[in-house]
Structure 1
């Protein structure tokens, strides 16, 4: 049973629990963790894999054998990831160029959703550039999105002024000129989460259909072990940073699926209950076993 998890504490807990449940788990160390997604989604080359929430939705929409283990390994605010160097603000996105690593990158999906829902931006009136393809085979960028020339990178294009705005999380360059396009972005993000009742989830845990069939006891044991780690580390804030369980993740998944569909990230609507039902059926458990 092969596992890819970015966090050391979650990996240790999952390995120990799966071993105790009778499996022979092996951690595959891939950094950054998103580079494991393509092999997992398209070839099931590992059994349990940390995945971006939008990758899960795309995989389901494209008929890939991917199931959701409802654990949040990374949740964070996102409004601050839309950045600019000049005097532009979020109100100036229409008519200007915006770079994002990949059209299906979860951070980009969240930010574009905020742009349309909170700021009334028509996404098709901006000049979008992507730098990578999708993790899910069969997914393509919309016709109104341009791919950057091979070998170019978003941080360099942004710092050298070839794009006016960038959507960047971990890859944000350190430069005193960089500022958020949304004024008071962190406060705006915190208020958005309070209003919605959930944080914008980035990474969750996926399992393959084959793993559910062959290693169900170990998968469930790993879920319980990781759930204990995540719930023990919650800070007691108004909105959990690491929601666990199907019901706790419903809001984030439903909103992300709606955003992704309207942005042409998904070829069809994905209903959250489809994920719940497929996972529970494969593991042979009721939704309540996984926080449903």
Structure 2
């Protein structure tokens, strides 16, 4: 099998577990890790792949042969990802320009969900600009979202003042002029998570249906190894298992449907059923 996982510790644990189970696995070094998602979802270029949770949801909605292995590789607060350089705040979005790398980018889906849920923003009153396609070939951005000209860059447009706001996570440039549009953003994120009972999930692990059927023992061993690592983590920040992932995945799926990121609703139990059918195991085997 071929594996793409960004974190070295998780990759090492998964490789050792699979090999102990009798399956040889090759790790491919793809950085940033999201660059592997398109080939995985559309062309089955790899067998086991870290990918954004919204990409996993889109793959299910468009009936791609991909299933969820219920482990998390990245969780983080998201309120701080809406940034500006002027005197604007989250309350001033109507009629203003906002850039985001891709409309289906998971960070953007979470942040726009907060905007509608907490701040009463009508997303269609905002001038949205996106810079890249999503990872699932069948998907098209909503008609009310504008595509940046060929060659334009989100960071440059933001820093040069062509955008009032940007939604940026890891790609946020270093510049002292930048500040969060949500006041006390990390406190707001902590309060949101306390109410919901979970932190936003960004990345999970997907498995091709073919690999799941052919290498179920090895893939379940990978799950066990990552679960054991999570149990030893004193912070306990990375949820593992269907029960642990139900809340955040169901929430981001609801946000994605509201934002025209998904063509239909994707229920969490559908993901559970697809995974268990491909792996030939009951939900309890994977923490559900």
Tell me, in whole angstroms, the C-alpha distance in 1 between the residues paired with 2:47 and 2:223: 13
Tell me, in whole angstroms, the C-alpha distance in 1 between the residues paired with 2:127 and 2:237: 33
Tell me, in whole angstroms, the C-alpha distance in 1 between the residues paired with 2:219 and 2:250: 24
Tell me, in whole angstroms, the C-alpha distance in 1 between the residues paired with 2:161 and 2:178: 12
Tell me, in whole angstroms, the C-alpha distance in 2 between the residues paired with 1:249 and 1:234: 19
- Given candidates 267, 273, 286, the residue that maps to 1:271 is 267
Give the equivalent residue in structure 1 for 2:199. 199
RMSD value, Cα: 0.7
Give the equivalent residue in structure 2 for 1:169. 169
Cα deviation for residue 234 of structure 1 reads: 3.9
- Given candidates 230, 240, 245, the residue that maps to 1:244 is 240
- Aligned pair 1:142/2:138, yes or no? no
Cα deviation for residue 281 of structure 1 reads: 1.1
Tell me, in whole angstroms, the C-alpha distance in 1 between the residues paired with 2:84 and 2:285: 45
Give the equivalent residue in structure 2 for 1:118. 118
Give the equivalent residue in structure 1 for 2:101. 101
Taking structure 1 as the reference length, what is the TM-score of the superposition? Answer: 0.98
Q: Contact 1:234/1:242 (CA < 8 Å) preserved in 2?
A: no
Q: CA deviation digits over 1:82-123, x for unaligned, max 9?
A: 000000000011110000000000000000000000000000
Note the 1:148-167 alignment, pairs <5 A.
Answer: 148-167=148-167
Aligned partner of residue 131 in structure 2, secondary structure: strand
Give the equivalent residue in structure 2 for 1:260. 256
Tell me, in whole angstroms, the C-alpha distance in 1 between the residues paired with 2:154 and 2:137: 23
Give the equivalent residue in structure 2 for 1:17. 17
Give the equivalent residue in structure 1 for 2:80. 80
Q: Contact 1:75/1:199 (CA < 8 Å) preserved in 2?
A: yes
Tell me, in whole angstroms, the C-alpha distance in 1 between the residues paired with 2:243 and 2:202: 17
Give the equivalent residue in structure 1 for 2:188. 188
Aligned partner of residue 132 in structure 1, secondary structure: coil
Aligned partner of residue 173 in structure 2, secondary structure: coil
Q: Contact 1:69/1:207 (CA < 8 Å) preserved in 2?
A: yes
Segments of structure 1 that go 5 or more residues without pairing to the other structure are none
Cα deviation for residue 77 of structure 1 reads: 0.1
Cα deviation for residue 231 of structure 1 reads: 2.5
Segments of structure 2 that go 5 or more residues without pairing to the other structure are none
Taking structure 2 as the reference length, what is the TM-score of the superposition? Answer: 0.99
Cα deviation for residue 272 of structure 1 reads: 0.4
Q: Contact 1:231/1:242 (CA < 8 Å) preserved in 2?
A: no
Aligned partner of residue 67 in structure 1, secondary structure: strand
Give the equivalent residue in structure 1 for 2:278. 282
Cα deviation for residue 7 of structure 1 reads: 0.2
Tell me, in whole angstroms, the C-alpha distance in 2 between the residues paired with 1:234 and 1:34: 27
Cα deviation for residue 189 of structure 1 reads: 0.2
Give the equivalent residue in structure 2 for 1:45. 45
Tell me, in whole angstroms, the C-alpha distance in 2 between the residues paired with 1:234 and 1:126: 41
Cα deviation for residue 45 of structure 1 reads: 1.0
